[in-house]
Amino acid sequence: MQAESKVKEIKNGGILSPKGFLADGIAAGIKKEKKDIGLILSVVPATAAAVYTTNQFQAAPLKVTQDSISHEGLIQAVVVNSGCANACTGDQGLKDAYETREWVAQKFNIPQHLVAVASTGVIGVTLPMEKIKAGIEKLSPLATKEHANSFQKAILTTDTTMKACCFATEVNGKTVTMGGAAKGSGMIHPNMATMLGYITTDANISQEALQLALREVTEKSFNQITVDGDTSTNDTVLVLANGQAGHDPLTPAHPDWSNFMGILTLTCESLAKQIAKDGEGATKLIEVEVQGALNELDARIIAKQIVGSSLVKTAVYGADANWGRIIGAVGQTNAYLNPENVDVSIGSIEMLKSSVPVSFSEEVALDYLKQDFIQIFVHLHCGEAVGKAWGCDLTYDYVKINASYRT
* Cα–Cα distance, 345 to 340 (Å, whole number): 16
Give the residue from 317, 325, 324 showing the smallest Cα distance to 366: 317
Burial class (CB in 10 A: 0-12, 13-18, 19+), 151: buried
* Cα–Cα distance, 240 to 68 (Å, whole number): 13
How is 300-324 classified by DSSP, letter by letter?
Answer: HHHHHHHHH-HHHHHHHHTT---HH
* Cα–Cα distance, 283 to 269 (Å, whole number): 20
Asked whether 173 and 204 are in contact (CB, 8 A), the reply is no
Give the residue from 267, 337, 256 showing the smallest Cα distance to 298: 337
* Cα–Cα distance, 335 to 11 (Å, whole number): 39
What beta strand segments (E) does 172-243 contain? Answer: 174-183, 196-201, 225-226, 236-241
DSSP annotation of 111 reads -
Contacts of 109 (CB under 8 A, 6+ apart): none
How is 19-83 classified by DSSP, letter by letter?
Answer: TTEEEEEE--SSSTTS--EEEEEEEEEEEEEEEE---SS--HHHHHHHHHHHHHSEEEEEEEEEE
* Cα–Cα distance, 391 to 187 (Å, whole number): 12
Among 65, 157, 177, 194, the active-site one is 194
Q: Which amino acid is at 121?
A: G
Asked whether 243 and 171 are in contact (CB, 8 A), the reply is no
Helices then strands, counting H and E runs in the chain, come out as 11, 16
DSSP H or E stretch at residue 376: strand 373-379
* Cα–Cα distance, 21 to 19 (Å, whole number): 6
Tell me if residue 175 is catalytic.
Answer: no
Q: Looking at the annotation, which residues are catalytic?
A: 194
